[in-house]
Structure 1
Amino acid sequence: MDNIEIKIISSDNWRDALALSVYDEQQKFVASVHPPAAIALAKAYIRPGGKMVEPYGIYNQKKMVGFFNLHYTPGSEEDYWLFHFFIDKRFQRNGWGSKALNELILYIKQNNPSSKRLRLTVHPENEAGRLFYLKFGFSEDNILTFDEPAFSISI
């Protein structure tokens, strides 16, 4: 069964998030530390820039297979950012990244109905990631954010 669910990271599942990883050559595309969820979970506590930062696990059949952070300003139409999005190396190439993005967009629409756009950045060397997001429907914004090209999609 290929159903994907997203669930907020809590005291019940944070250790599962820390157990996730990517291939060594993908690490720099997700986070500068290992495991990649560690910095993302820290950001949820620190809240850089005063934004809301919510960490989520991506689940298939009750097993966490991926992770992401959603950064946003509550009530904003444009300030919704996806960071540290990845599927664990054991579960890649199953289409779960696209399904997780679809679930995330539905979640934002339901919980933040004023939102109109989801944004993200892609590491300049991550050609596979760039092509993935373009195929999904994101467009290049032709600006750099945190020294990485920014992409966005209308939601």
Structure 2
Amino acid sequence: MITLRTITKLNWEECIHLKTKQEQQSFITSNLYSIAEAQFIPGFSTKSIYFEEILVGFSMYGIDPDDGNYWIYRLMIDERYQGLGYGKRAMQLIINDISNKEDRTDVIWLGYKPNNEDAKKFYKKVGFQEVGLAPWGELIAKYSFA
């Protein structure tokens, strides 16, 4: 059973110790930075990802103040728990959470580094379609509810 839980004073420190595989570390910002960043972006949520009572990952998403659309800024699964389907289930829960919000948009956006082949395959598998390269250098993909 995978669940999303709000980052709180009880779990934030455990969350910042989650790590990706060594070869993935250049692809994602640290959870510590993300938790701090979310304090300054109104409407963004930081969520811990649990398998039963075991913390396995982290996510951050919300309405981007620049374009008014939902963006998934971060999704990571700790190296010890990758390849077990937790990321896919967590993404389904994130999409479901966004789809149930009153202010939901018709699409969800995300970006990833062009050389991150694992992310490219994963996001395609969960329903995101690549739309092109952003000015800041990331590949942009969208998920459409329609």
Percent same amino acid among aligned pairs?
Answer: 28
Q: Of residues 108, 111, 123 in structure 1, which corresponds to 2:98?
A: 108
Q: Paired residue for 1:67?
A: 58
C-alpha distance in 1, partners of 2:135/2:102?
A: 23
The one of 10, 14, 17 aligned to 1:16:
14
Over 3 Å counting, the alpha-carbon distance change for 1:143 and 1:125 in structure 2 is closer
Q: TM-score, normalised by structure 1?
A: 0.85
Q: Pick the aligned partner of 2:79 from 89, 94, 114.
A: 89
1:89 positional shift = 0.3
- The ranges of structure 1 where at least 4 consecutive aligned residues each deviate by more than 6 angstroms after the TM superposition are none
In the alignment of these two chains, the number of paired residues is: 144
Q: Is contact 1:22-1:87 (8 Å) kept?
A: yes
Q: Which residue of 2 aligns with 1:52?
A: 43
Structure 1 unaligned runs (5+)? none
Residues 74-96 of structure 1: CA deviation (Å, up to 9, x unaligned): 9x8x6111112110001000011
RMSD value, Cα:
1.8
What is the TM-score when the length of structure 2 is the normalising length? Answer: 0.90
Tell me how far 1:52 sits from its aligned partner: 2.1
Instruction: Judge conservation of contact 1:82–1:118 (CA < 8 Å) in 2.
Output: yes
> Which of 130, 139, 145 is residue 120 of structure 2 equivalent to?
130
Whole-Å Cα distance in 2 between the matches of residues 145 and 64 of structure 1?
Answer: 34
Q: Distance in 1 between matches of 2:62 and 2:135?
A: 14
After TM superposition, the structure 1 stretch with the greater mean CA deviation from structure 2, 109-118 or 94-103, is: 109-118
**20, 29, 36: which one aligns with 1:42:** 36
- By how many angstroms is 1:73 displaced? 5.0
How far apart are the structure 2 equivalents of 1:20 and 1:135? Answer: 24
- Contact 2:64 2:71 (C-alpha < 8 Å) held by counterparts: no
Cα deviation per residue 1:101-153 (whole Å; 9 max; x = unaligned)? 11111111223353221111011110111011112211011131531010010
Is the deviation greater in 103-112 or in 63-72? 103-112
Distance 1:91 1:55 in 2: 19
